[in-house]
Amino acid sequence: MWDYSDKLKDHFFHPRNVGEIENPSGVGEVGSLACGDALKLFLKISDRTGRIEEAKFKTFGCGSAIASASALTEMVKGKSIEEASCITNQDIADYLGGIPPQKMHCSVMGREALEAAIADYRGQDPAKAPRGKIVCKCFRVTDEEIKRVASENRLKTVEDVTHYTKACGGCGHCRPVIEKLLAEVAAEVDTSCLPRPKDT
């Protein structure tokens, strides 16, 4: 049995801001019912201040998915778009007092829904944004998504990637590709940490 924090359980049993916003400024929809998790996030942004006045959500998923979406709506209210854009999946997990490793993909889904809603507000079509090549066909996870989540959360193993994205949680055929992507991310991190040459 997973160990859920009291705050996560509270946001699951008493979710905040459930529902839709009439005439929203931006809408972000991620996940799919076929994969077991889906989230639709609605934002109302003030024309005068540029800050998020209201946030609501509708989701299909487990307790962690509901709690993550509920927490996210509380976190973004009152923030500017720029401030909200800086929220990471780890911020959502920390706000809830932690999320079991096997459920971290719920916080990632929240972050992705927020990005999609902000893109919609800015008049961009997130569906047309380059998202990379599908690596995990079972859960439709791309190489760019895996690399980004692995880099942001310092993931080391394929099991870590599965916890955060669901990739390799089905047939397992994508495992070798994920291992290669993790090696690429590790090499990039190592290179970025090298001391810069001194000016001569």
State the catalytic residue, choosing from 106, 136, 168, 174.
106
Assess whether 168 carries a catalytic annotation: no
The total number of residues written for the chain in this structure: 200
Burial of residue 77, with CB atoms counted within 10 A of its CB: 0-12 exposed, 13-18 middle, 19 or more buried:
middle
Assess whether 106 carries a catalytic annotation: yes
How far is Cα 170 from Cα 141, in angstroms, rounded to an integer? 12
State the catalytic residue, choosing from 35, 136, 168, 174.
35
H or E element, residue 44: strand 37-45
Q: What are the structure tokens assigned to 177, written together? A: 């590709």
How far is Cα 76 from Cα 22, in angstroms, rounded to an integer? 18
Q: Coil, strand, or helix at residue 182?
A: helix
How far is Cα 73 from Cα 43, in angstroms, rounded to an integer? 9
Task: Give me the active site residues, please.
Answer: 35, 106
